[in-house]
Amino acid sequence: MKTAAQLRKLLQEIDHRGYPAYKDTKGSYQFEGFVLHIDHVQGDPFAAPSKLSLSVGGGRAGFPAEYRKEAYTRIALEDYLTRLFSAKIEKGRFGAGSGKSGLVFMTRPGQAVLERTACQIDPAEGDILVRLEVGFPANGRTIRSEGLIRILFELFPACVKEVLTYASLDANRVRRVIELAEDQHTIREALPRLGLCAFVADGAVLPRESGVSDRPMKQAVPFSSPEERRVTLQLPHAGAVTGMGIPKGITLIVGGGYHGKSTLLEALEQGVYEHIAGDGREYVITDATAVKIRAEDGRSIKKTDISLFIRNLPNQKDTKAFYTEDASGSTSQAANMVEAMEAGTSLFLIDEDTSATNFMVRDELMQRVIHREKEPIIPFIERARGLYETEGISTILVAGSSGSYFYIADQVIQMEYYIPKDITVLAKEEAARFGAGEAFLSPRQTDAVWTSPCILRAPQASREFAKGERVKTKTMGRDGFQINRETVDVRYLEQLIDSEQVTALSYYLKYAERYLFDGRRTLTEVVDELCRLTEEKGMAFLAEGSYLPSGLARPRKQEMFACLDRYRGLRL
Ligand code: ADP
Ligand code: MG
């Protein structure tokens, strides 16, 4: 390995030379207390910035070994260090010159705690690796190495010393990060034992600041559980925490417009992730497999068995292996639901407002006029109970206008001025008095509901890949990515919360195309293999060539599935 002094000398020598001379800096350099890796050097000042990483030995970093024993505390610590490191970098900007000259880019996490490539701690040794990007400075295309020398020899050593060294941090703050992760983990673990699919703590702040900010709303009405639903959880650090437990089964959230129904559901959607202290949703924890189901007109569907909900189409199209490049509201929602089942969900989250009405219900009068057998759609209301009783999949449904679901609900929560009330008894009595609910508890509820569609679906690679060939992908923020000329639209996957997850999905897809799509492995086997590799090696196995990009955040298995399901290039 070369020394820092050698790097400094090299940078001084190439000052004022043509930009390509920067290429010689690629390599690893021993600094005091850390190693700087220049993994990839950009070709010109306007290109994507250069990729760098910093590694600190576990002994030197000195974080307590018990903080990294479990993945969930280790990830919380990585997340904390990423936040500190990027905040420090932010303060010292060296931008001057052409293109991205002198800019330092480091991941800035949002409210959720995600596993990321920006900072990784080795579970065994405690070595820390931080990945970031630097625009190597130039004037026009003439190297101005002085700015880079300041970044590498002043900014980075200071950040490493202040952030990646346990001794220089406030040990109490670090401990509180670990304790929150342990408390959150305890709630997650407790849910199945208590027969719950979600928990919302008293005092939680659910609404967000605005449509574009994920921070908590100021002066929000804090959450308060209805007495009937209140449970007390003993957490290792926070002690007794009370809140609303949502039992498994079918739960309706009802109430007048603007009373906070969707806000509660959205908080539950995000409860598959852990949130940082101060977020307001620290103790809002949902079954980690929960999937938001909505209509998604226009999506492509590839050989999905939607016959559970749609059969006997007038055009004779096969709904056991349904194809379309432009799905309707109901077929898209049916596919979303079946695919979520394939992805192993045990909780559907549905908002009537973003659902296809004909997928959700068919009212009495319509049933009388248009006979059942003439209607290809078996609405969700006729399937929901069966899905719970035979497949164990619960549903939490926001219903603003349709009362039909009262008949099949196990519990009914009414939101009133942002405060939930349990109105199960009242709603059931009213439903019984109203009568005619049998139609919704038809024999279809107990059909053997699901014939595994994944057996049919074994994708082939879309083409041959040359050895060492790079497949280009481009992330379009949170909305999707491009792979070759194909756009994968993930905008309606509401539980994807970070563009880094989208970038990671593009890498997972690239990997699957190249190594896993062989016409034999089913989609389920492909995704299981991707998850297994991630568990075993972290996202490092996604690296193409010699380095792993800094901007990847780990998506859930459910979103990996959903991404492959929406890939129009999927060859089945
Ligand atoms: P609904 O789905 O019942 O029509 P929403 O959940 O969309 O209602 O909420 C309506 C408005 O109320 C939103 O602007 C939301 O931000 C706000 N809101 C929701 N919950 C709270 C709360 N606990 N305190 C203050 N405002 C809230
Ligand atoms: Mg709403």
**Cα 388 from Cα 7, distance rounded (Å):** 63
407-423 average pLDDT score: 97
**Cα 381 from Cα 272, distance rounded (Å):** 25
Q: What's the Cα-to-Cα distance from 62 to each of 66, 73, 390, 466, rounded to whole Å?
A: 11, 16, 51, 44
Do 290 and 345 meet the contact criterion of CB atoms below 8 Å apart? Answer: yes
> What's the confidence (pLDDT) of residue 441?
60
In percent, how much of the chain has pLDDT > 90?
A: 82
- The confidence band for 400, taking pLDDT boundaries of 50, 70 and 90, is confident
Can you give the CATH number for the domain in which 343 is found?
3.40.50
Residues 436 and 470 in one domain: no
Q: What DSSP string runs through 527-566? A: HHHHHHHHHHHGGGGG-BTTB--S--BPPPHHHHHHHHHT
Asked which of 451, 484, 512 is the last residue of a domain, the reply is: 451
Residues 214 and 158 in one domain: no
Task: Among 205, 252, 258, name the best residue to mutate to test ligand 1's pocket (greatest count of ligand atoms within 8 A of Cβ).
Answer: 258
> What's the confidence (pLDDT) of residue 314?
84
Beta partners for residue 310, in sequence order = 377
Question: What are the tokens at 212?
Answer: 């574009």
Question: What are the tokens at 409?
Answer: 């609900």
Which atom of ligand 1 is nearest the CA belonging to 222? Answer: 23
Residues 494 and 550 in one domain: yes
Q: Which residue has the least CA distance to atom 11 on ligand 1?
A: 258
Q: How does the average pLDDT of the chain come out, rounded?
A: 93
Residue 29 CB–ligand 1 contact under 6 Å: no
Residues 446 and 462 in one domain: no
Contacts of 193 (CB under 8 A, 6+ apart): none
Q: How many domains does the chain have?
A: 3
Answer yes or no: is pLDDT of 57 > 90: yes
Answer yes or no: is pLDDT of 375 > 60: yes
Establish if 177 belongs to a structural domain: no
Residue 280 CB–ligand 1 contact under 6 Å: no
Q: What DSSP string runs through 427-458? A: HHHHHHHH---GGGG-GGGGS-----GGGG--
Contacts of 212 (CB under 8 A, 6+ apart): none
> What's the confidence (pLDDT) of residue 454?
46
Establish if 572 belongs to a structural domain: no
Residue (of 552, 555, 79, 501) closest to 272 by Cα position:
555
Amino acid (1-letter code) at residue 368: R
- Strand-strand pairing, 112-113 and 274-275: antiparallel
124-137 average pLDDT score: 96
101-113 average pLDDT score: 95
50-67 average pLDDT score: 98
Residue 262 CB–ligand 1 contact under 6 Å: yes
Establish if 176 belongs to a structural domain: no
**Cα 95 from Cα 457, distance rounded (Å):** 50
> What's the confidence (pLDDT) of residue 550?
86
Establish if 175 belongs to a structural domain: no
Look at 29-43, 212-226, 253-267, 398-412 and tell me which has the smallest mean pLDDT. Answer: 398-412
**Cα 410 from Cα 366, distance rounded (Å):** 25
Angle at 56 between CA 64 and CA 63, to 5 degrees: 10
Q: What is the rounded radius of gyration, in angstroms, for the C-alpha atoms of the chain? A: 26
Name the strand (E) or helix (H) holding 354: none
Which atom of ligand 1 is nearest the CA belonging to 418? Answer: 23
Which atom of ligand 1 is nearest the CA belonging to 263? Answer: 6
285-303 average pLDDT score: 97
Look at 303-307, 414-418, 506-510 and tell me which has the smallest mean pLDDT. Answer: 303-307
> What's the confidence (pLDDT) of residue 438?
61
Asked which of 143, 169, 195 is the last residue of a domain, the reply is: 169
Look at 87-101, 249-263, 283-297, 401-415 and tell me which has the smallest mean pLDDT. Answer: 87-101
Question: What are the tokens at 207?
Answer: 């609404």
> What's the confidence (pLDDT) of residue 442?
57
Residue located via tokens 């057996």: 455
**Cα 303 from Cα 320, distance rounded (Å):** 8
Do 232 and 242 meet the contact criterion of CB atoms below 8 Å apart? Answer: yes
Answer yes or no: is pLDDT of 481 > 80: yes
Beta partners for residue 304, in sequence order = 322
Residues 345 and 439 in one domain: yes
**Cα 570 from Cα 572, distance rounded (Å):** 6
The 10s digit of each residue's pLDDT in 434-472 is 876 666 665 555 454 555 554 578 999 988 888 878 888
Residues 248 and 388 in one domain: yes
Answer yes or no: is pLDDT of 492 > 90: yes
**CB 107: neighbour CB atoms within 10 A?**
24
Give the CB-side neighbour count of residue 529, counting CA atoms within 13 A.
15
The 10s digit of each residue's pLDDT in 534-562 is 999 999 999 987 788 889 999 999 999 99
Residues 273 and 339 in one domain: yes
**Cα 560 from Cα 462, distance rounded (Å):** 18
Higher local confidence (pLDDT), 363 or 14: 14
Residue 221 CB–ligand 1 contact under 6 Å: yes
In percent, how much of the chain has pLDDT > 70?
A: 96
**Sheet with strand 473-476: strands edge to edge:** 473-476, 480-483, 486-489
Do 353 and 272 meet the contact criterion of CB atoms below 8 Å apart? Answer: no
Residue 258 CB–ligand 1 contact under 6 Å: yes
Residues 151 and 9 in one domain: yes
Residues 335 and 417 in one domain: yes
Establish if 485 belongs to a structural domain: yes
Distance 290 CA to ligand 1 centre (A): 22
Name the strand (E) or helix (H) holding 74: helix 71-91
**Whole domain around residue 52: which residue ranges?**
2-169
Establish if 571 belongs to a structural domain: no
Task: Among 212, 263, 397, 417, name the best residue to mutate to test ligand 1's pocket (greatest count of ligand atoms within 8 A of Cβ).
Answer: 263
**Cα 503 from Cα 485, distance rounded (Å):** 16
Residue 259 CB–ligand 1 contact under 6 Å: yes
Residues 219 and 263 in one domain: yes
Residues 463 and 446 in one domain: no
Using CA atoms of 543, 490, 328, 347 in order, give the dihedral in degrees to the nearest 10: 90
Residue 417 CB–ligand 1 contact under 6 Å: no
Residue 260 CB–ligand 1 contact under 6 Å: yes
Residues 23 and 154 in one domain: yes
Beta partners for residue 322, in sequence order = 304
Asked which of 451, 475, 493 is the last residue of a domain, the reply is: 451
